[in-house]
Amino acid sequence: MAVKKTAKKAAKKTAAKKSPAKKAVAKKKTTKKVAAKKAVAKKSAKKTAGRKVAKKSAAKKVAKKAPAKRVAKKSAKKATTRISSALASVEVPTSAPKSVAPVSAPKPVAAPKPVAAPNASTSSRTAWIVVIGIAALVAIVWTQSSGSDKDEEATPTPSASATAEPSTTPSTPAAVSVVEAPTDFVALNSADGLKLRWVAPMAVDGLTGYNVEIRANGAGEWTVIATVPADQLTQNVTKASDTGWTQFRVSSVYSDGQTASAKVFGIAGEFK
């Protein structure tokens, strides 16, 4: 019995010794659990605070957008009302507007150039020159009027029946652009001499006739023995003697005085 009691006491002592250690361990575990719970609570509080801040900022943005939308709606309504009132006030024309001729812009007028003021000396000189000129003109007019009066007294006045003849001035003929000489100019024997014959030129505008000319022995001046009209293409010449020889020439004559000569040829004997 004593042994059991001592054993129980020893067990109690060991249990008493072990209990503070268990209590310390239990306290540590509880403190850790409390700290973990506090950390979890803090995290959840932070999360909820962040969510609340995000909700507030979103609410603020929505609140800001709402007035802007209202202002935009109000301005759009005002613009539509103004446009409708302007369209109502405009009168639509029933007929098409008449075309208006464009008005040309007036040409710019050049500014007048400044005139330099004359010197006093030059103005006085010009004044004296003008005075002298006027005096000279008066003297000339006086002498002319006195002389004309004397002439009128000396010359008799013409009668009313006399009429002045109009003065006619000769008109200058127009220049001829193309002139040509006769062609195929030949001499044919005749009873008393030769018969000269030629062909009219192609350029007949302004052609008035032909000049028939001769020259003795191929020297000296040409002598016109006949001037025939444009429609005459022959001319007879008479043989005067058998001495020497004679050159013959025929030329086209135009209205402006131009001439064109055919080819010259010579025949033995004297012709006229």
Give dist(CA 148, CA 143) in Å, integer.
9
Q: Report pTM.
A: 0.39
**Per-residue confidence (pLDDT) for residue 183, from 0 to 100:** 95
pLDDT of residue 137: 82
Q: State whether CATH 2.40.37.10 applies to domain 183-271.
A: no
**pLDDT at position 160:** 44
Distance separating alpha carbons of residues 221 and 158, to the nearest angstrom: 53
d(CA 3, CA 9): 10
Q: What is the DSSP letter of 31?
A: H
CB atoms within 10 A of CB 201: 19
Q: For the chain, give every domain's residue range.
A: 1-88, 183-271
Give the C-alpha separation, 254 to 260, whole Å. Answer: 9
- In the chain (272 residues long), the average pLDDT of successive 10-residue segments reads 65 60 67 79 74 70 64 69 62 50 54 54 76 82 66 52 53 86 95 95 94 93 95 95 94 94 94 90
Rounded CA separation 149/112 (Å): 50
Cα distance between residue 9 and residue 42, in whole Å: 49
> Residue 148's pLDDT is what?
58
User: d(Cα 204, Cα 85) in Å, to the nearest integer?
Assistant: 89
